[in-house]
Amino acid sequence: MTVRTPASVSTHVLDTSAGRPAEGVAVEVSVRGTDGGWHGHARGVTDADGRCKDIPALPEGTSQARLVFDTGAYLNARTTTAEEQQDAPRARDSGAFFPEVTITFVVAPGEHYHVPLLLNPFGYSVYRGS
Domains and CATH numbers, the chain: 8-126 (2.60.40.180)
From first to last of the 130 residues of the chain, give the pLDDT tens digit: 555 778 999 999 999 999 999 999 999 999 999 899 999 999 999 999 999 989 999 999 999 999 999 999 999 887 555 445 555 555 555 567 889 999 999 999 999 999 999 999 889 999 999 8
**Cα separation, 18 vs 51, whole angstroms:** 16
Of the CA atoms within 13 Å of residue 16, those in its CB half-sphere come to: 13
pTM of structure:
0.85
pLDDT of 60 reads 92
pLDDT of 11 reads 97
DSSP label of 102: E
